[in-house]
Homo-oligomer: A and B are copies of this chain.
Amino acid sequence: MAQLRIALAQTNPTVGDLAANADLLVAWTRDAAEREAHLVVFTEMFLTGYPVEDLVLRTSFVDASIRTLEEVARRLDREGLGDLPVVVGYVDRAGLAPRVGQPRGAPLDAAALLHKGEVVTRTSKHHLPNYGVFDEYRYFVRGDRLPIFRLHGVDVAIAVCEDLWQEGGPVAVVGQAGAGLLVVPNASPYEKEKDDVRLELCARRAREAGCALVYVNQVGGQDELVFDGDSIVVDGSGELVARAGQFKEELLVVDLDLPVSDAPAGTFPYDAGDGSTITVDRLVLSADPVEPRPPVPARIAERLDPAAEVYSALVLAVRDYVTKNGFESVILGLSGGIDSALTATIASDAIGPSRVHVALMPSRYSSDHSLTDAEELVRRQGINARVVPIAEIVNAYEKEIDLSGLAAENLQARVRGMILMGLSNEHGHLVLTTGNKSELATGYSTLYGDSAGGFAPIKDVPKTMVWELSRWRNAHTDPSFLLDAEAPIPENSIAKEPSAELRPDQRDTDSLPPYEVLDRLLDDYVEKDMGSQELIAAGHDPALVTRVIRLVDLAEYKRRQYPPGPKITPKNFGRDRRLPITNRWRETTGPA
């Protein structure tokens, strides 16, 4: 056996900012060198950020990725870090002749080993995910090489992300070929309680590969995706050895005792067990084990509880959307209700209350507590507030056009949306929308009204979870939150009955069932894809099933125009649920 000290660089790259990501790589490698690591492993497509969508189809972008990789290898060496091997993800190309249906330029979701100023070996993802939020058959061609490099006597194999999730392929080949360690760069988006799934997966694959496994995951927000980190090290029996925290950057350093190898170098084809052949590329960086050192204590970060986990995901998503897009501040409408109260609090935690602006926009139908509850939140958090009454503006419209019923209700919501957009354009704030997932699912919102804005922090949070997160936040904090306030949300905003206040004495329950009932039904219909018969068999009220399914199916168009927002569930509306708008299928009735 030989000791290796591995550094897992759980980092937050910025999509497209190759220079900044290269700087991060150098800085973190220096940190790993200072902690005497023998190997640093970065995340999937770290140099480009992940996902880059159609950028990968541009020749100039792929050129820049390859050039940046080679430059950063030389730079590490120049800066005295060349002796420390680095595994890092980037985008490469396969050099295949063009053909119909093949992604332009035949890009690869690649990873490379950097050492002594050189790119020593390159590999790329074999299994391409094309489900949920992933479209990788659109973007990449599959890799068919598995590098195994000897480091201080230990054979280290490299596989990329999805190759862990599928049967057969690189992990199966590691099991046949034999290695002492499998390192896996990942960009695996957050979903509620996904950390349990990942640990089980890593344990199973380590047993299949017959060696310890190092799983390094990206952290940070990228449009609708949040990456949670949760990097993991398991030994060859699948036992958890070390684990990084969630939603924070971290250099996790771990000492592992690993078997030494003297297998010959060279290239060897293996049946990958999935109908394809994978070529193992064995090479030697250093054959002799290092002198063992007293191992550093392995850190196993505690898991966040469910509410803390979701709340932290939302804070990170907002922080990164704002800062990576270069905004200095945000603005939102504060109604006194719980959705805007929670959204303001998330924003304060994400970027600090001094950068959060709110507009209180009372109408003729606003109740007294709307203004007082909103003002109380402003006081507790110290955010920037202004009052903009909308009655005179609504009157001006109504002098020109006659609107009644829903059209008149929508007008009020739209006047508020336009005020926020005007203030955004004038002062450069990013507009946050405050709609929750239950509203979005059922279409209980106004297009170009409350749905107008640049980012939707709680678009994937059902209403019942909005209350849960609000109560949680009033009782907890975290050092990464930038708002320092006891119970930042007024109790009355949490306790009072929900109302859109767009007509006299309106209540959400005039149009929707109680949220406890609605959210359970939405979960079964949207997340679990149950059909109407299954829903009724599961105990949901048949009339309600018909009504809610109709609302959800008809609201598709509004959801298409909703701003991006962090994904926390399997079926966030947006990237991972796509229905035709023009569509006569109704789940409740079958063929109409």
Q: Are B222 and A580 in contact (CB under 8 A)?
A: yes
Nearest Cβ distance between residue A589 and chain B, in whole angstroms?
A: 10
Q: Interface readout for A406-439 with B: 1 if CB under 8 Å, 0 if not?
A: 1100110011011101110110000000000000
Q: Are A20 and B130 in contact (CB under 8 A)?
A: no
Task: Select A531's contact among B60, B533, B563, B580, beta carbons within 8 Å.
Answer: B60
| Integer count of this chain's copies in the complex | 2
Answer yes or no: A138 CB below 8 A from chain B CBs: yes
Q: Are A61 and B585 in contact (CB under 8 A)?
A: yes
Q: Are B531 and A58 in contact (CB under 8 A)?
A: yes
Answer yes or no: A301 CB below 8 A from chain B CBs: no
Answer yes or no: A393 CB below 8 A from chain B CBs: yes
What are 6 A-to-B residue pairs whose CB atoms are below 8 Å? A19-B591, A59-B529, A60-B533, A61-B587, A223-B580, A406-B425
Q: Are B422 and A407 in contact (CB under 8 A)?
A: yes
Closest to A323 in B: B582
Q: How far is the CA of A561 from the CA of B431 in the complex (A)?
A: 14
Residues of A in contact with B (beta carbons under 8 Å apart): 14-20, 22, 51-55, 57-61, 64, 68, 99-104, 127, 129-131, 135, 137-138, 162, 165-167, 221-223, 275, 320-321, 324-325, 388-390, 392-393, 395-397, 399-404, 406-407, 410-411, 414-415, 417-419, 421-423, 425-426, 447-448, 452, 454, 529, 531-533, 557, 560-561, 563-564, 577-587, 590-592
Q: Are B167 and A584 in contact (CB under 8 A)?
A: no
Nearest Cβ distance between residue A401 and chain B, in whole angstroms?
A: 6
Closest to A322 in B: B582
Contacts of A101 in B (CB 8 A): 127, 129-131, 162, 165-166
Instruction: State whether A417 and B64 are in contact (beta carbons under 8 Å apart), knowing that A15-B584, A131-B138, A584-B16 are contacts in the complex.
Output: no
Q: How far is the CA of A221 from the CA of B422 in the complex (A)?
A: 36
Nearest Cβ distance between residue A480 and chain B, in whole angstroms?
A: 20
Q: Are A54 and B563 in contact (CB under 8 A)?
A: no
Contacts of A324 in B (CB 8 A): 582, 584
Nearest Cβ distance between residue A398 and chain B, in whole angstroms?
A: 9
